[in-house]
Amino acid sequence: MKSLLGLYLDPNDAANAMDGLKEGGFEVGTFDVLTGTPYPEGAFGEHVPQHRLFRFPAFGAIIGFSLSLFLTTATQLAYPLITGGKPILSIFAMLIIMYEMTMLSAVIFSVIGIIFESRLPNIAPGVYDPRITEGYIGVVISVEDSDLNKAKKILEKSGSEEIKEA
Amino acid sequence: MSTNEEHFHWPPSDPKVVKEELISSTKRGGGFIKKSIWVLSLLSILGIVGLLGKLFLESNDQTQWGYIAAILAFILSTASGAPMVAVAPLIAKANWARPISRIAHIIGVVGIVNIIIMIPLLWVLPPLVVEGARRRSIWFEAPNYSPHFWDTLSLIMLAIVGVALLYSSALPDFATIRDNSSGTKKRIAGFLARGFVGSTVQWSTLRMRIGMMSTFYFFTLIFVHTLISIDLSLSMVPGWRDAIYPMAHAMGGIQGGIASVIIVAWIVRKYFGYENYITINQFWALGRLMFAASLMWIYFFYSAFIVFWYGRSMSDTAWLDLLIRGPMMYVFILGMLFSFIFPWWWLIWNKVRNSVNGPFYGAILAILGVFFERVRLYVPAWSVDPSLIHDKWLKVIPKTLFPDIWDILVLVGAVSSVFLIVMIVSRIVPFIGVWEIQQFNLLAKPVKYIKAHGVRVAKPD
């Protein structure tokens, strides 16, 4: 398995390269576009992966809420002191703790989710070029050795300034 | 669209130039910055000395701690309110805020200062029940030390979200610094960038994570304002019942946050030479927000005040005697002048708002107003005799309390530590987001309509 990176100055050329790879029969998901700026989604015709980031805070919030409900209910029921004939479970004081623990847990799970869903840390980033942060656009593809020349040709044809291989 | 020639400043269009100019803010002013960091570090240490002095010499007298609580509330209401300036425009998809949103995020990481100030306050904050009597608070039947634990945890949570928000938005810039620097800076940026290469999934999740963290910051900030305002002032005064107070406190925090961002943006623009990045458009927009926040301040104040004024019950009269015409009457007048009258009268003029310096002077006035307001609210509340805290209403109005040397040291130290943290963070995080300016250039184009200048903005999200 090899990685190829075609560098483009013109975003239209990069979009043509993406189209070329698609038409060339390369599987969606094996090639991607690298940019130093967040272009509008789908600007290069790239595959926009579905992420599950929203599940992390939701899951965290449920855990935090459940824990806080258990903590506040169990502690009050463990020492059932009736004050002034009021109910043992003091709902409005419980709400503060429940809100705080729900938020805290949601935040912690979101941070974990961000790291996980952003594929970070990226231990093996593959082929890359620092010029991407200078406005160049990279089209990166992972191919079998047998398809290497085919992919290279598509990148060259679409006007890449340089092709890097790793 | 603007027809004003002055509005027609634009960041350079070449991504390479943008990158170099903005990354340079992490290197600029080497000698001066180093000296400043030393001086601010010393002043911050003095602040810690002040806190320790207060703790060892005055921990048995709760009435002497009002200024420390006021300083905590002041930092919470200014620095911690700053990220809201980036959060609100993000939700509204406003393009103008991109050049200043990083500044707002950087100021927001100073939550640690509040946690440090909170530690000694935990010693002196009275428990909910003393000698069998429970003071009126939002904690009803909760354990005695609930405010101590949950208030501190909420401040820790705010600090975590503040750091997470900055980190989320700065991640692509760490990658840029990693690719364009050398030595220690490259290693640090490389570690922080965690292998960010700008792939589709990384940009896609960036949008979402900034949105999520911004939402969390908003929810947490409002919650912290509610807890701190009630536990560290309202519940300390017998008979003070005010449903508007936590909201008014949070509103003052947003006013202070806007003022903080304007001041830092003005300094960054002037001393880092970013006239083409932070333009009159940002100050114009921030000036309008500042003006609106000043009007909101008087609205909240008057909504609370009229109830006490017209109610005239014993507890209402005690509230007026304590917080309006009592020991802090002159501070109340100063707070009214600086939080509302001066900023309102200054920013009401379009010519003032529509300038770079006008909103800056307005922000200085407002930030002083926030300080006076916090002193007015917290110092008298803590001055109340602890033996009276469980009464139905306040029968003995405390005398005016002036700050002692420890209070002044803590104030100087707290403000210095805010600037110190901002300066240290700015050595690795650019003051203006590189990717945000690149996106700004990508989505907004200056156009000319006959003789007028305008901006055409795309909003694809």
pLDDT score at B266:
95
Mean pLDDT of each 10-residue bin along chain B, 461 residues long = 57 76 76 88 95 90 92 94 88 84 92 91 89 83 88 94 91 89 85 86 85 91 94 91 92 94 94 86 92 94 91 90 91 95 94 93 96 95 87 87 94 95 90 87 82 78 60
Q: Supply the ipTM of this predicted assembly.
A: 0.83
- Identify the residue whose tokens are 């209070």: B407
Judge whether B455 lies within some domain. no
For the beta carbon of residue A119, count every other beta carbon within 10 angstroms: 19
Contact assignment for B199 to A96 by CB distance below 8 Å: no
pLDDT of residue B73: 96
Residues of A in contact with B165 (CB under 8 A): none
For residues B371 and B74, is the Cβ–Cβ distance under 8 A? Answer: yes
Q: Which two tokens stand for residue A153?
A: 């040709």
Distance CA A17, CA A150 (A): 12
Contact between chains at A90 and B16 (C-beta distance less than 8 A) = no
- Which of B140, B160, B460 is the closest to A92 by Cβ? B140
Provide the Cα torsion B324, B327, B329, B332; round to 10°. -70
pLDDT 10s digits, A22-37: 888 888 878 888 998 8
Residue with tokens 């940002």: B282
For residues B349 and B32, give the distance between their C-alpha atoms in angstroms, rounded to a whole number. 37
Phi, psi of A137 (to 5 degrees): -115, 130
Give A-chain residues touching B435 at CB under 8 angstroms: 36-38
Residues of A in contact with B142 (CB under 8 A): 90, 93, 97
Residue B428, domain member (yes or no) = yes
- Please list every residue in chain A whose beta carbon sits closer than 8 Å to the beta carbon of residue B172: 36, 38
Burial class of residue A48 in the structure, from the number of CB atoms within 10 Å of its CB (0-12 exposed, 13-18 middle, 19+ buried) = exposed
Partner residue opposite B195 with nearest CB, options A34, A76, A121: A121
**Domains of chain A by residue range:** 2-50+124-165, 55-117
Considering the segment(s) A2-50+124-165 as one domain, its CATH architecture is 2-Layer Sandwich (3.30)
Q: Does any CB of chain B come closer than 8 Å to the CB of residue A135?
A: yes
Token pair listed for A56: 């992390």
User: From the candidates A55, A133, A164, which should be mutated to test the interface with B, based on the most B CB atoms within 10 A?
Assistant: A133
Tell which A residues from 22 to 61 touch B, by Cβ distance under 8 Å.
Answer: 32-41, 46-49, 51, 53-54, 57
Residues of chain B positioned with their CB less than 8 A from the CB of A107: 157, 160-161, 164, 216, 220
- Whether residue B424 is contained in a domain is answered as yes
B-facing residues of A in 73-112 (CB < 8 A) are 75-76, 81, 83, 86, 90, 92-93, 96-97, 99-100, 103-104, 106-108, 110-111
The whole-angstrom distance between A25's CA and the closest CA on chain B is 20
Q: For position B324, what pLDDT does the model report?
A: 92
Residue B386 structural domain: 5-445
Q: Is residue B131 part of a domain?
A: yes
Before B99, cis peptide (omega within 30)?
no
Residues of A in contact with B146 (CB under 8 A): 93, 97
Q: Are B83 and B214 in contact (CB under 8 A)?
A: yes
CB contact set of B235 (below 8 Å; sequence gap of 6+)? B135, B136, B137, B138, B147
Q: Rg of chain A's alpha carbons, rounded to an integer?
A: 26
CB contact under 8 A, B208 and A123: no
Question: In the structure, what pLDDT confidence band is assigned to residue A119 with cuts at 50, 70 and 90?
Answer: low
B contact test, residue of A56, A75, A118 with most B CBs within 10 A: A118
CB contact under 8 A, A34 and B199: yes
Structure tokens at A27: 């599987």
Cα(B43)–Cα(B46) distance, rounded to whole angstroms? 5
Residue of A nearest to B21 (CA): A134
* Residue bearing tokens 């301040």: B297
Question: What's the pLDDT at B336?
Answer: 94
What's residue B3's pLDDT? Answer: 47
Kindly determine whether residue A107 and residue B461, on different chains, have CB atoms separated by under 8 Å.
Answer: no
- Summarize the confidence of residues A81-110 as an average pLDDT: 86
Q: How many CA atoms lie within 13 A of A106 on its CB side?
A: 24
Q: Which residues of A touch B196 (CB under 8 A)?
A: 118, 120, 122
Chain A nearest-CA distance from B55, in A, is: 29
Residues B128 and A62: their CA atoms lie apart, in Å, by 30
Q: How far away is chain A from the Cα of B61, in angstroms, using its nearest Cα?
A: 28
| pLDDT above 90: percentage of residues in chain A | 16
**Averaged over A45-67, what is the pLDDT?**
87
Is B219's CB within 8 Å of A103's CB? yes
Residue A15 and residue A138 in contact, taking contact as beta carbons nearer than 8 Å: no
Q: How far is A53 from chain B (nearest CA, A)?
A: 8
Q: Do B207 and A107 touch (CB under 8 A)?
A: no
Distance from CA of A57 to the nearest CA of B (A): 9
pLDDT of residue A117: 67
Task: Indicate yes or no: CB of B141 within 8 angstroms of CB of A122.
Answer: no
Domain count, chain B: 1
How many Cβ pairs within 8 Å bridge chains A and B? 160
